[in-house]
Chains A and B, each alone.
Chain A
């Protein structure tokens, strides 16, 4: 699905850091990627890998301070949003970039009905809408995300609805604003498997039908396989590997990706056979000098501990950050 057109989103050398009493933590370090129409890009990594900070940076939701954008650029259809002020960002959020979050209930206001919140959001993003027109858009949007009985939902407060329903309302709200790009930060982590499948199917259909580019943040390889077309693997604030989903999952080139895939429980294995990655993710206050994964990597050589590998292409639209990508590392 390589796209000849201009990317909708172009991220170059993005660096985001946080000031802490013990020093600055660079949570996202030199992240670069493109996102085209029809792409569903999964950003995958463990807690602390920087995947959520990347997502929040893309829509400038990092609170500053303690956060700081330390460099790079985020171009949405040619405009670098890192240069925009807060007022200009208001019109980017929602209308250009929509976002849904991990905890669906937390992204709705508990003291207002769904109807009030949907209409308020829609009218805020498009002041020319009348109340009646906004209600109409809201109703249609709710039907699109699979609510047959919209009247009941509109009259409800968030606490009267389940987590899956709240997530779908969040999705309806975002899609009603017709964004050019959707960011979903672990949208199904808090949900049941059945509800998870339903939400993912909604996203997949939307992308297929309208070409809406989606970035989905997850730590679940099953989710990646289910809906993503491309995957970006993060570890210790660095991007480690990128490529088409089929390529990366079937022949991962970075030892971290390989270890991550091996550690997924396969129901055909005995429990003792699950290999796991020994040790803990790096402390970003004092990150390893070389490759961030080197301390846990069983193939690391002296070079890996000394210098951070380049982020480089290895053909067929694949990128990797590993000194050993060409030599013995693959498999």
Chain B
């Protein structure tokens, strides 16, 4: 896998959202660093998982790669080309190669168009003739395990899992190389989740796709993804193979986050984790200087409040942004 070249190379991207107040003279009232200086690479053919709670910036990061949100800073290299330098028309051509699957399949499909029209839309956008597009729609529906003869139906006639299959078919219509999967199974029932994950996994192998899989479910990320990055409040705190991050989390945040995962086997550890779990809501923001997690971290020491730790390599391909692993303590 190491020999594979990087398909996506994100270098130091940041995004700050500003909340404005006032009716006429709108001025910045507050700002949130949704993504703070994040760099990562996704190799060709790899499934990269990105986990974090709500507000961690994981979706914003993915959308910046797609250029659905314009980053304030940094570069996004796709196959060696910086997407941010492209003209709108050049970017439009690149969009064929990057596609997205959203969390809520019913909301992301056009309810007024039939399933066939929904899937054919991206093809028509790029000038495919209706006859060719129709043939392609049938192929795509078969690829995702749906009956092409039913394609005259509307999205609301399908269940959530089937709609997600349709959304995947639409995303694959232009034969992309990269899919951004934004919590694609979070809205689905457990039994259907497994179906969709299986389908994605098959498609990934069959079509040699590269995925960025965003989720708040560590169990699924561990299973589905080759590598995992852990995000918290816009910062990347830890990366490694999914196996390592799950079995041996290094960053205190990852450990706490893992602790609150509920298991089906008997295990009451979650109760202690819940007691300790940070009140994301009530926790006041730490000072700009220190580590972003210092306010809640059980292992914090003096330095954590003074300087933000950089993401550093600790062993193998593992990176952690935590003072516990950088310099000798105190």
Q: Is chain B a partner of chain A in the same complex?
A: yes
Interface size class of B (residues with CB under 8 A): 35 or more
Q: Return A261 CB to nearest CB of chain B, in Å.
A: 7
Kindly report which residue of chain B lies nearest to residue A47, judged by CB atoms.
B189
A263 at the interface (CB under 8 A from B): yes
In contact, A194 and B257 (Cβ under 8 angstroms):
yes
User: In the complex, A246→B282 CA distance in Å?
Assistant: 36
> Which of B130-138, B193-201, B287-295 is the contact stretch?
B193-201
Contact present for B190 and A221 (CB under 8 Å): yes
On whether the beta carbons of A271 and B197 are closer than 8 Å, the reply is yes
Q: Which residue of B lies closest to A269 (CB)?
A: B223
Residues in chain B near residue A260, CB distance under 8 A: 190-191
CB-contact partner of A280 in B54, B161, B194, under 8 A = B161
Q: Report chain B residues within 8 Å CB of A162.
A: 54, 280-281
Given contacts A148-B282, A198-B274, A222-B262, contact A275 B216 (CB under 8 A): no
Q: Do B264 and A194 touch across chains, with their CB atoms under 8 A apart?
A: no
Complex Cα–Cα for A204 and B220 (A): 26
Q: Is the CB of A225 within 8 A of B282?
A: no
In the complex, A47→B191 CA distance in Å? 10
In the complex, A125 has a CB within 8 A of chain B:
no
What is the CB-to-nearest-CB distance from A328 to chain B, in angstroms, rounded to a whole number? 22
Chain A residues near B265: list those with CB within 8 A.
Answer: 225
Give the total of A residues in contact with B, Cβ under 8 Å.
50
Contacting A at CB under 8 A, from B170-200, are: 189-195, 197-198
* B54 surroundings in chain A (CB, below 8 A): 162-163, 192
Nearest-CB distance from A49 to chain B (Å)? 9
Q: Does B270 contact A (CB under 8 A)?
A: yes
8 Å CB contact of A277 from B191, B257, B282: B191
**How far apart sit A262 and B216, CA to CA, in the bound complex (Å)?**
21
State how many angstroms separate the Cβ of B152 from the closest Cβ of chain A: 19
Q: Mark A34-47, 1 if CB is under 8 A from B, else 0.
A: 00000000000011
Closest to B265 in A: A225
Query: Which B residues lie within 8 Å of A261 (CB)?
Result: 264
Q: How far is the CA of A238 from the CA of B191 in the complex (A)?
A: 18
Q: Is A88 an interface residue (CB 8 A)?
A: no
Among residues 269 to 283 in chain B, which have CB atoms less than 8 Å away from a CB atom of chain A? 270-271, 273-275, 277-282
Q: Which residues of A contact B191 (CB under 8 A)?
A: 46, 259-260, 263, 276-277
Among candidates A194, A267, A276, residue contacting B219 with C-beta atoms closer than 8 Å: A267
Give the 5 A-B CB pairs with smallest separation, nearest first. Answer: A222-B262, A197-B274, A276-B194, A197-B260, A194-B277
User: A-side interface residues toward B, CB under 8 Å?
Assistant: 46-48, 146-149, 161-165, 192-198, 200-201, 204, 219-226, 246, 249, 259-261, 263-267, 269-272, 274-277, 280-281
- Enumerate 7 A-B pairs (CB-CB under 8 Å) in ascending A order: A46-B189, A221-B264, A249-B264, A260-B190, A265-B193, A270-B223, A271-B201
Taking beta carbons and an 8 Å cutoff, which residues of B are in contact with A?
53-54, 159-162, 189-195, 197-198, 201, 216-220, 222-224, 246, 256-257, 260-267, 270-271, 273-275, 277-282
> 13 other contacts beyond A47-B159, A194-B257, A261-B264, with CB at 8 A cut-off?
A192-B280, A194-B256, A194-B278, A195-B53, A197-B277, A225-B264, A225-B266, A226-B270, A263-B193, A266-B223, A267-B246, A274-B223, A281-B159
